[in-house]
Amino acid sequence: MGRYSGFIAMYATLASRDVDCCLIPESPFYLEGEGGLFEYIDRRLKENNHTVIVVAEGAGQDLIAQSIPAADQQDASGNKLLLDVGLWLTHKIKDYCKSKKMEMTIKYIDPTYMIRAIPSNASDNVYCTLLAHSAIHGAMAGYSFTVGMVNGRHAYIPFHRVTSTRNKVRITDRMWARLLSSTNQPSFLSQKDIDAAREADKAANRMKSREDAKKQSTPVLANGEK
């Protein structure tokens, strides 16, 4: 999971508190050189004798493509098949440690859908029940929508608002800064990358503001017709 967004990897890292490095699609990284991943892994191994790395499915695809040709294939759901970053990174770390004559053992765990398969707790059950109630009421009223929590309230969300943009981790936001502080990992970003990310965030906010303003300016009659 985490093909294009690293939310699961980020929140799992923050919840665990045992992770040394988290790699997500939104934050590019590099392996070699000063400030690279290999240098960080080397330092953590010397400090703690172990390193825990969490990798989202879509992380490092540009790096993998440099050594492994990407095949334009799709899975059963119609999604593009991504290159396996876990196995690729495992081999790269092994080769690096071998070149440094470092004895090490890598345990690679691919959780696949284990996260979704854990038993639900009481809060999960209540939340799903409320979502189901809201969905039934909306469907009986004739709406076409999805249900979700918005500012602490269950709301009917039009499909076009859900699918208009892809929700991504903002690497200039506080939550990603909290993760960097928790893991002590390098950001792997130059000032140019940070400025580009900020400009992308500003552009997305401007587009959202224009859409909201356009929606508010559209007159709605008493019978609901525009």
Return contacts of 203-209, CB within 8 angstroms, 24+ apart. 204/165, 207/165, 208/165
Check: CB of residue 162 under 8 Å from CB of residue 176. no
Q: How far apart, in whole angstroms, are the C-alpha atoms of residue 192 and residue 162?
A: 31
Q: Is the pLDDT confidence value at 191 over 70?
A: no
Please report which residue ranges of 100-190 form alpha helices under DSSP H. Answer: 122-140, 159-163, 174-183
In the CATH scheme, what is the homologous superfamily, with its name and number, of domain 7-124+171-189? Phosphofructokinase domain (3.40.50.460)
> What's the pTM?
0.76
Q: What is the pLDDT of residues 88-140, one digit of tens each?
A: 999 999 999 999 898 889 999 988 777 777 888 999 999 999 999 999 999 99
pLDDT digits (tens, 9 = 90+) for 146-179: 999 888 888 999 988 888 888 889 888 899 999 9
Burial of 75 (0-12, 13-18, 19+ CB in 10 A): exposed
Whole-number Å distance between alpha carbons of 54 and 20: 8
Give 49-103 pLDDT, tens digit per residue: 999 999 999 999 888 888 777 667 777 777 777 888 999 999 999 999 999 898 8
- Is residue 200 within 8 A of residue 165, CB to CB? The reply is no
Domain assignments of the chain as residue spans, ordered by start: 7-124+171-189
Report pLDDT digits (tens) over 16-47: 889 999 999 999 899 998 889 999 999 999 99
